[in-house]
Structure 1
Amino acid sequence: MDEDERDPHKFLEAAMQEEKKKKKGKLKIFFGYAAGTGKTYAMLSDAHDAQKEGIDVVVGYIEPHARPDTMALLTGLEVLPPLEVAYHGVTLKEFDLDKALERKPKLILVDEFAHTNANTCRHAKRYQDVQELLNAGIDVYTTVNVQHLESLNDVVAQITGIIVRERIPDSVFDDNSQVELVDIDPDDLLERLKQGKIYREKQANKALGNFFTEENLISLREIALRRMADHINSLQLQADREKSLTSVVTAEHILICLSSSPSNPKVIRQAARMAAAFHAKFTAIYVETPDFNNMLQKDKERLQNNTRLARELGANTVTSYGSDIVEQIAEYAKVARVSKIVLGRSYTKRKLFSVQESFSERLTDLSPQLEIFLIPDNYDKKYVKPIGLQRYTQDYSDSMWMFGVLSVSTIFGYMLSHWNFGDVSIVASYIIGVFFTTFITKGKIYGIIASFLSVLLFNFCFTRPVYTFEIVDIRHIILFVVMFIIAMICAGLTHKVKEYAKLSAQKAYRLEILLATSRKLQKAADKYEIVEQTVAQLGTLLEKNIYFYLGNPRLNPLPFTYICNEALQNNFDNQRWVAVAEWTFKNNRHAGFSTTTLPGEKCLYLAIRNGEKVFGVVAIDMENQRIPAYEEGIMVAILNECAFALEKDELLKDQENASLQLKQEQLRANLLRSISHDLRTPLTCISGNAEVLLHNLNQMKREKAQKLCEDIYDESIWLINLVENLLSVTRIENGTMKLQLNIESLSDIVDEALKHIKRKLSHQPIHVEHENDLLMVKADGRMIIQVITNIVDNALKYTPQGTQVAITTRQVNDEVIVQITDDGLGITDEAKSKLFDMFYSAKTNAADGKRGMGLGLALCKSIINAHGGELTVADNKPQGTIFQFNLKVEEVRL
């Protein structure tokens, strides 16, 4: 068996994926090649069969048809009332998603999968309504025709001459859906159309003259059958992957280039079909140049639509930055190991003396290993990228700068002429003027105009005859040509330097923001600080109002905010945007402005996610302006960093909890082990001595009986102290230990502690010395007594008889210092480092022969720390040990 198949992680991942599938509803699509093939009829028939099997079936929406046989099948099925929407004086009937979610049947029927909803609906497309139903665990039956698939839109348009506006991404058609082909012979379909079983007479005649021709229907049927076969193959491939529990690694990687060209959607669809056929990785790249900000608004919108189309067709979108598009694409292709690249038709620019290499030719030279596919388009004319000449004509400041610089060059030229420096110096002054003009103006056009005007000014002002454009000396023509060429070269080089400088500044800015974000998120102490830093970085980048909901917005309605524009802060209905944020959180999808879900909202709602896990929602007040692609890339990177940081914080919290549980388990195991070991000796002693007394009390001498009773008493006291320590340790570990702080006399506490160990004082008397008998402390007297008892008992246990033990108290500033000293054998440095660890006992032989559990000193340290003090151990001079702890002095006011 292959090792991957035995890997338990693979089995676990497969089980989790299967569990996710069980939670989601199942989608069944009734697929046809044209209207009237019987898709809705077949769907309703299957619904009746499901109802007979006891399944809860509801009709969510059925498109009204002029087909009595189809509409008759609604009888006996529960039908949800449609949502009525007013639109320009007309009442539209739409599928009511909210009622369907509230009703929540097992199976619901929703006709016309590719339908475009009214503007007031939550989603722009009906397939998005269906996806929300599936996420809620509801099974869905729906219908769709082949011309509504996004990747086939261009193919269908070429066959029928009609561009279908209502389309669905191929991913929703292929991913985990059951597709049933509803087929009918084209001749039978045309006969049904003529009989009025599909459309009314007027619509039928129009359809027969346009879409419903025999040639069109045969072609569409062939495409539908082929698409159905591709769907079955993709399902088989997915099943094979799940069965083997391994990923199929493909060497194919297809790349397309995103642009604002009208032909770009066709290239995207063709590349998507190729990626599906080759089972290849699919990437769409956009190279952003420094001229991006000068792009016209309609071109930016077209670019964003093309980017959205690529994502819908399964492409991974990438943005690169550079002034040379071909070089950037070639470099990315090498790094990403691209095998095929799909391009639109490229045009060759003809120059005066040469032909410039086309886009594809340059790409072939830079990346000869690439397979390049050129896709023809339907545009007869070359697409000319607008350069926005209106901007140049309306920007009078640049024109004034240009004329000002040329005027200065002319004046300086007169000065050079007056000083007899010659024509070369005057030409140099104009070239310098062209250089500065190109540098300080915004467009390359100004450098070109300045080059031409400088030649004219030089001819007019400095060549004989002056103040005319007449050329007498043939050498002046050569001088003018050389001057113009040099000026143009300077203008071009200066413009390139400006572009590279702007590009470098953008890269540095992007890198600085990302590094700052990463650094701040790494330093964040908890998830709240992570969110605060993310909101601050987003606000700084976008200069917009930011609202961040951590977790479910309904449960945590108060967002973290970054307010950039106070005037727009009150323009929101709080309950509404909390509801949209909650939808985004639950469905793990973006919503709001510039999306297809609730596009009328003022905010863009983005899910902070890492895979299927959603950590929160960020709402960005867009102020009716789209985010530029450059800033959008940085924003996405910041949100990804935030998601990783929040996930890391959760993992650390889980790790801490696991460590705490492990520590508690170890404590429990050590307690049981120690109890079973250390209780055996005293209990055996008590039971043995008691048995001797019980059977031999009358024959036993008084001195021996008294000795046995003393041993029983000592062992029971030892057990009592042990149990007290165990109870205290348990309260500390559970966090239930509460100090009962009172104003206590320190001398009384010491005296009470000595009473607990008074029987041992006869062998080793304890010397007590108080600097002030009236020292008062605010403490839990019972706990401090336990501390003194444990330390003194520890000193008596681990020191030989005759050793002197002393307790001294003194006041230092606002603290009282308590020292317990002995002149025994002392403690090694190695033992000192572990002395206050739980279950640690020094290897020194105890005076009474018993080895403790190692709880006493650990408990003492916890009690003193809880009082705000510190327990330490040090060597006593010349020998012995000093235990010292401090408590706060409390002044008593009479």
Structure 2
Amino acid sequence: MDDLKLNPNDVLRRVSEIESVKQTGQLKIFFGYAAGVGKTYAMLKEAHELKNKGVDVVIGYVEPHQRVETQALVEGLEQIDTQEIDYKGLKLQEFNLDEAILRKPKLVLVDELAHTNAEGCRHAKRYQDIEELLRAGIDVYTTVNVQHIESLNDMVQSITGVVVRERIPDDVFDNAAQIKLVDIEPNELLERLNSGKIYKKTQAQSATLNFFDIKNLTALREIALRRCADRINRISEKARQLENNGYYTEEHILVCLSSSPTNPKIIRTASRMASAFKGKFTALYVETSDFPSLEEETKKQLRANIHLAQQLGATIELVYGDDVPLQISEFARISGVSKIVLGRSSAKRKYYWSKPTLSERLTENAPNLDIYIIPEKGIPYYKKKKAQFENVTFDLRDTLISVALLVIATVLGTVFYQFAFSEANIITIYILSVLLTSIVTKQRIYSLISSVLSVLTFNYFFTVPRFTFTAYDSGYPVTFLIMFIAAFVTSSLAVKLKQHAKQSAQTAYRTKILLETNQLLQKTIKKDEIISVTANQLVKLFDKDIVVYMEEQGELQEPEIFKATLEETSKYITENEKAVAAWVFKNNKHAGASTNTLGSAKCLYLAIRANDNVYGVIGVALNHSTLESFENNILLSILGECGLALESQRAIKEREDAAVLAKNEQLRANLLRAISHDLRTPLTSISGNANILLASDEIMDHETKKKLYTDIYDDSLWLINLVENLLSVTRIEDGTMNLKCTSELIDEVINEALNHVNRNKVKHTIVVNHPDEFIFAKMDARLIIQVIINIVDNAIKYTPEGSMIAIDVKKTDHVVIDISDNGPGIPDEAKAKIFDMFFTGTSKIVDSRRSMGLGLALCKSIVLAHGGEISVHDNKPQGTIFRFTLPLEEVVIHE
């Protein structure tokens, strides 16, 4: 009964999740707290049980540990040949992912989930191979130990003292369909180790000394049990949120990112806190003005820390400013952060007189925040900064400018000295010179040197004794010191302002590109326009070549390159690059340069997607560079906008196709209805009259027979006209009506049409008002004759006997033909629909044979195909005028 209370959206979401699970493979992890507990053995044993039940099971890769019991279970199971990788002269055997996908069993066994693949494999990590297997719809059994889970790495290291390099993201573990804990007592594990069942004796002795002791194993076992319990809690929490869509937690954990090698420990701790509090998890990096001058190794460490935070489920945010505590506290206030996680090195002063620490400033700026300080074992609180000007390179232009400004200041100082201005005025000139130097030069070293030289120059030229570096006045050293400090502080502030302005301009430009992209995409309609706008905006943003692969009918098309440089672009469209793009399209994942998947590619490839639909692939030519976190976020935002625009365009096209299909279906239904009803009357009449003639030929008088023949003839003409209209309508709808236009005399066309008008025309007066001159029009005479017949027949049908029908021809810049009658006219509400297909009037004058409503609709289509117009008007004092136009044809008559 509880399901009846669910919101319909919740039900749809559950159905969607179930369908998604059906389409992807299921992952089962055999989980242990140490090597040798029996994970691989349990996996193989269960595989044999499934095989006996008829399940298609193959071994993708089993680690050859030379364990007798395990090797015995390998026998009897089909094995996929491994992939041989040549790495620095060694032949390495790796899991053959492509062979497994090609074989496509129901279940594949892949040992050692946390394994790092050799160079040359598609993915850097084995868990990425397994993710691709799951996306291919293949179930996977695998094994992993507790020390390989990313968020537990620091905890395991602190217990065992061993740094584990091979790790998996927590979400790989948490999102597995099943976790089977393989557990034995630590004492039993040590007995297995000592008896040589896990490692050889020499390895077992080393393992006992370094890792396998009762204390470590007990602690690891406890962590493994707790991690399994945490996963069960997460599953329960997810189910709870599905039951209650309004569920919300107020906890928001913020971790501060840096390039410190200890930052990963802080990130992992914050991740565990976010999981424990069931709150949001955000990682923030404050980019200061010193960021461009950071060493590449430092930037690499920062990117690794950002990547780790993303793996652990954090939302990455970036802000700018040199006042780091202020930026963090403001972000926390705006974003609703409740807890901040810091490292201990940022929470301790080096000296009593040192400036307040990060944690002290944060406490001052945001007193309501909880701040957690994480110890950084083995790492000193403060690390000596590298010399700021160690890698300085001097530029001739900046050097000349600096010297020129110093000379100008000295000349102005000399003038001031001659006019007996005070020394304070001269000092101000030199400070101004240093300020200008810091503004116009590119490196900070020039302002520092200018500060020193300004003091020395002032001393040399303007203190007594002049033209020496000595000074008689005892107060001059203080003057020199204050002058240097003032010049240096002023120049430092100018440099910072310049750097801030540069950062602000860069941020504003990127934001402008993002907003501009959104506006341009809203104006586009066609698919190629959307792609062109997106690619050109990315070229403007990154100043890098962009490669675009569009999707058509489920396949990638040939690439299109949008160039930003003059470099040769053929290297971006090789078969290897196309294969990477095809993999991204198939798997809806990033790959290529700067990633762990097919990282040898020249470009970084990303899918253009909206929801689960992939509309193409875009490659960014990195040329051995990388995208910063903020650049990557903007790239994803632009691709997201592009994906939404393409999805909208596809939805519009599908709606248009659906509308055309509905219209065709309606036309088909109306035609069938009309044929079934409207053809029955004339056919019945023809059949009945013919039967009477056959049965009563001898006793029937001449007049009666003539009337029957006439009725048969009229009904036949009606059917012929109907069939002609149907054929014409069919040709118009499928676009096969081809005009054969020639110059025709209007009078001849009208006379020909009147010869084929309904026999009932004798009951009406038809008048043709011929013009005084010969008027020619460019037309397909056969079709225009049909137009005149249909309009005149319509007038005959809807006007009483004895009515007058007039045909008038006028010449303006085109030919105007009016067909008028003096009948009862057409109501205003019917005029708007008179040319619609299958519209029939409600006049009581019309005979019992109901019209199909095709004639006037066909007239409109024919006239429009000739480039003319057709309309209906009231005739004065009564009646109706049908008016249509045709292109005028001037004919030159040669005498």
Q: 1:792-847: CA deviations, max 9, x gaps?
A: 2233344455444333556767x655443445565566654443233445666646
The CA deviation at 1:46 is: 1.2
The alignment partner of 2:255 has SS state of strand
Change (3 A) 1:477 1:787: same
In structure 2, the residue matched to 1:788 is 788
- In structure 2, C-alpha distance between the alignment counterparts of 1:849 and 1:385, rounded to whole Å: 103
> Aligned pair 1:519/2:545, yes or no?
no
In the alignment, is residue 217 of structure 1 matched against residue 217 of structure 2? yes
Superposed CA RMSD in Å reads 3.5
- Corresponding residue number in structure 2 for 1:412: 412
Q: Secondary structure at the match of 2:620?
A: strand
- Work out the CA distance in 1 between the residues paired with 2:14 and 2:58: 33
Mapping 1:612-761, distance limit 5 Å:
612-667=612-667, 717-718=717-718, 721-722=721-722, 724-733=724-733, 735=734, 737-739=736-738, 741=740, 743=742, 745=744, 749-761=749-761
Shift of 1:406: 2.4
Determine whether 1:105 maps to 2:105: yes
Tell me which residue corresponds to 2:90.
Answer: 90
Normalising by structure 2, what TM-score? 0.90
Distance (Å, rounded) in 2 between the aligned partners of 1:700 and 1:185: 116
Q: 2:330 corresponds to which residue?
A: 331
The residue matched to 2:570 in structure 1 has which SS? coil
> CA contact under 8 A between 1:295 and 1:387: conserved in structure 2?
no
Between the aligned partners of 1:500 and 1:765, the Cα distance in structure 2 is 91
**1:594-632 Cα deviation digits (max 9, x unpaired):** 100011111211111223221111122221111244433
Identity %: 49
Residues 39-73 of structure 1, C-alpha deviations (whole Å, 9 max, x = no match): 11111111111111111221111111132222122
What letter matches 1:440 in structure 2? V
> Does residue 1:204 correspond to 2:204, yes or no?
yes
Residues 296/424 of structure 1: CA separation in 2 closer, same or farther (3 Å cut)? same
1:425 corresponds to: 425
1:459 counterpart SS class: helix
The one-letter code sitting in structure 2 at the alignment partner of 1:643 is G
**Rounded Cα–Cα distance in structure 2 between residues aligned with 1:54 and 1:695:** 78
Following superposition of structure 1 onto structure 2, how do residues 757-836 of structure 1 map, counting pairs within 5 Å?
757-768=757-768, 769=770, 775=776, 777-779=778-780, 781-809=781-809, 816-822=815-821, 831-836=830-835
| Residue ranges of structure 1 left out of the alignment (5+ in a row) | none
Q: Give the residue type in structure 2 aligned to 1:589.
A: K
- Equivalent residue for 1:587? 587
Give the counterpart letter for 2:362 in structure 1. L
The verdict on how the C-alpha distance between 1:591 and 1:5 changes in structure 2, with shifts beyond 3 A counting, is farther
Moved more, 392-401 or 67-76: 392-401
> What do the CA deviations read for 1:340-367 (whole angstroms, capped 9, x no partner)?
2222234369799954232223333333
- Partners of 1:210 and 1:216 in 2: how far apart? 10
- 2:805 aligned partner, one-letter code: V
Contact 1:538 1:635 survives alignment (8 Å): yes
Deviation at 1:644, TM superposition (A): 1.0
User: Aligned equivalents of 2:90 and 2:552: distance in 1?
Assistant: 38
Rounded to whole Å, the distance in 2 between the matches of 1:449 and 1:72 is 77
Relative distance call for 1:693 and 1:616 in structure 2 (3 A) is same
The corresponding residue for 2:257 is 258
- Residue 295 (structure 2) pairs with residue 296 (structure 1): yes
* 852-861 vs 645-654, which moves further: 852-861
3-state secondary structure, aligned to 2:807: strand
Q: Give distance in 1, aligned partners of 2:445 and 2:737.
A: 80
Contact 2:778–2:889 at 8 Å: present in 1 too? yes
CA contact (8 A) 1:553 1:578 kept: no
| Aligned counterpart, 1:146 | 146
Q: 1:855 to 1:356 in 2, by over 3 A?
A: farther
* Cα distance, 1:742–1:411 mapped onto 2, change above 3 Å: closer
Q: Distance in 1 between matches of 2:630 and 2:444?
A: 22
1:112-143: per-residue Cα shift (whole Å, max 9, x none)? Answer: 11111111111101111111111111111111
State whether residues 460 and 469 of structure 2, in contact with CA within 8 Å, keep that contact through their aligned partners in structure 1: yes
Residue of structure 2 in register with 1:858 after alignment: 857
Over 3 Å counting, the alpha-carbon distance change for 1:661 and 1:361 in structure 2 is: farther
- Secondary structure in 2 matching 1:179: strand
For 1:348 and 1:115, the matched residues in 2 are separated by 37
Amino acid at match of 1:25: G
Aligned match of 1:506: 506
Q: Is the 8 A contact 2:868 2:884 kept in 1?
A: no
Count residues in correspondence. Answer: 890
- Residues 303 and 690 of structure 1, relative CA distance in 2, 3 Å threshold: same
Q: 5+ residue gaps in structure 2?
A: none
Does residue 268 of the first structure (1) align with residue 283 of the second (2)? no
Task: Note the 1:346-357 alignment, pairs <5 A.
Answer: 346-347=345-346, 355-357=354-356
Distance (Å, rounded) in 1 between the aligned partners of 2:281 and 2:704: 95
Distance apart, 1:318 and its partner CA? 2.5
For 2:194 and 2:406, locate their aligned partners in 1 and report how far apart those are by CA, in whole Å: 77
Matches within 5 A, 1:431-446: 431-444=431-444, 446=446
Output one character per residue of 1:543-563: Cα deviation in whole Å (capped at 9) or x when no partner: 222211112799344122213
Q: Secondary structure at the match of 1:794?
A: helix
The 3 A distance-change label for structure 1 pair 286 and 832 is farther
- 1:32 and 2:18 are equivalent in the alignment: no
Aligned 8 A contact 1:743 1:890 in 2? no
| Residues 738 and 730 of structure 1: CA distance in aligned 2, closer, same or farther (over 3 Å) | closer
| Alignment of structure 1 residues 221-620 onto 2, 5 Å | 221-242=221-242, 244=243, 246=245, 248-347=247-346, 355-378=354-377, 379-383=379-383, 388-394=388-394, 397-444=397-444, 446-476=446-476, 479-480=479-480, 482-551=482-551, 555-572=555-572, 574-620=574-620
Question: Is residue 111–residue 143 contact of structure 2 (8 Å, CA) maintained in 1?
Answer: yes
Q: How far off is 1:249 after superposition?
A: 2.7
1:464-513 per-position Cα deviation (integer Å, ceiling 9, x unaligned): 22234444435545544554454344334423432332233123211321
1:140 to 1:799, Cα distance in 2 relative to 1, 3 A = same
Task: Say which is worse superposed, 696-705 or 558-567, in terms of deviation.
Answer: 696-705
* Mapped contact 1:194–1:204 kept (Cα < 8 A): yes
In structure 1, what is the Cα distance between the partners aligned to 2:341 and 2:234?
Answer: 22
Give CA-to-partner distance per residue, 1:211-259, whole Å, 9 cap, x none. 22222212111111111111222233334445x3747432222222222
2:671 and 2:385 map into 1 onto residues whose CA distance is 80
Contact map agreement 2:28 2:140 (CA 8 A) in 1: yes
Give the direction of change, closer, same or farther, for the CA distance of 1:385–1:868 in structure 2 (3 Å limit).
farther
TM-score when normalising by structure 1: 0.90
Partner of 2:117: 117
